[in-house]
Amino acid sequence: MAQRSRRSRSQPERAPAYAPDSGSAGGESAPRNGQGLATEAEEMALRLECVKLADEQLPLRLAYTRYLDLVHRTLSFEHGTLYVTEWTSGRLLPVAVRGNRVELADRIRFARGSGLSAWVAQEGRPVVIPDPGSNGHRSPFGDAALRAFLAFPLVQRGIVAGVLALARTDRTFTEGEFERLGRLAESLAQTLSKLRREERLRELVYQDGETGLSNSHHFTARLEEELQRTRQHTTEFAVALLEVDIAAGPERAAVVGALTHHVAAAMRTCDLAANLGGRRFGLLFAGLDREKASIIVDRVVRVAQRELRQTTVSPLPMRLSVVGSAEQDESPDALLQRAASALADIS
């Protein structure tokens, strides 16, 4: 049986009912004697699926969803959340959810964030909370429908790449199921680490270092994708250029920060905002015509200007142009030039 965890100063007040040995999560030990060949073959197939997923170069959101599907094949659950650790701060970020996002002790803050999953990432060891109802004890869960919760760290070369937070409403997690997850933990951790490295490389290639928005290279590449889509299907999009008279100096960081915040908040996940260099920002709105995009951008500009009046000595001139879907066989450079020409016509 799994050993009862020792309470540490960093543990939440409501400690897990038991915490399996951390050694069971650290590598892929051989299956126990008597375990059938069918089980070994199934686990080998899951390892191969992990390798395949890491090499497919899917969009990251889809890759993380597929990853959680693989975990579900390893250990069934009703509700599951995949967290990854942020590169700079090490804080946990949810990247995929199956069912509903379920977290325990979410009002307690730890170094990696809030909740029991953050504690697991901090300590690097898993916890499992079974349903004690069969023993006549009061359930530790605020949700009466919850029967079991598992938070499992995915460790690669001593670094916690992420955490799996899984919950059940019908039964508890058994020792055998946890041992199976432990045997597959190394493959799961390797796959997640590779996905995170791919994400980091994409950030370095496509992200602007000053603002955190996309850079001009990414913006042009995305424009090409939208142009191809409009040629093949009856779709539309709009492109906006925003130019702000930001002089170099101590105020620049505040101005850029305010603009970036309001621009990013107004964009949907299918849209794109980019710092095109100098004083110019580019906005791409997928599936919107020029009129609708203009309404969104005008609102962003008004809110940003109102905030910037409180932080700058003098008002900052802003110029804005919005153009609709491209003309026939128009290139990304030609489309941007059309938007720039419209911007130049504004006095």
What would the mean pLDDT of 21-32 be, rounded to a whole number? 43
Among the three residues 205, 226, 242, which one is the final residue of a domain in this structure? 205
pLDDT: which is higher, 177 or 199:
177
What would the mean pLDDT of 155-166 be, rounded to a whole number? 91
For residue 236, give the nearest of 296, 323, 297, 300 by alpha carbon. Answer: 323
> What per-residue confidence (pLDDT) applies to 230?
82
Q: Is residue 305 situated within a structural domain?
A: yes
How many domains are there within the chain?
2
pLDDT in tens, 283-325: 999 888 889 989 988 888 888 777 777 665 556 677 888 888 7
Among the three residues 177, 205, 233, which one is the final residue of a domain in this structure? 205
**Are 192 and 337 contained in the same domain?**
no
> What per-residue confidence (pLDDT) applies to 218?
83
H or E stretch including 253? helix 252-266
Query: Highest-confidence range of 75-89, 220-234, 265-279, by mean pLDDT?
Result: 75-89
**Are 46 and 138 contained in the same domain?**
yes
Lowest mean pLDDT across 94-103, 127-136, 181-190, 231-240: 127-136
Q: Is residue 271 situated within a structural domain?
A: yes
> What CATH number did the domain enclosing 110 receive?
3.30.450.40
Among the three residues 170, 205, 240, which one is the final residue of a domain in this structure? 205
CA separation for the pair 42, 47 (Å, rounded): 9
> What per-residue confidence (pLDDT) applies to 1?
34
Q: Is residue 83 situated within a structural domain?
A: yes
| Residue 26 reports pLDDT greater than 60 | no
- Give the CA distances from residue 15 to residues 46, 158, 171, 172, in Å, rounded to whole numbers and listed in that order: 32, 24, 20, 17
> What per-residue confidence (pLDDT) applies to 140?
63
The SS3 call for residue 160 is strand
**Are 53 and 132 contained in the same domain?**
yes
- Give the CA distances from residue 7 to residues 14, 103, 127, 139, in Å, rounded to whole numbers and listed in that order: 10, 20, 12, 19
What would the mean pLDDT of 169-179 be, rounded to a whole number? 89
Lowest mean pLDDT across 33-37, 45-49, 139-143, 251-255: 33-37
Instruction: Record the pTM.
Output: 0.54
CA separation for the pair 73, 275 (Å, rounded): 42
Domain that holds residue 80: 22-205
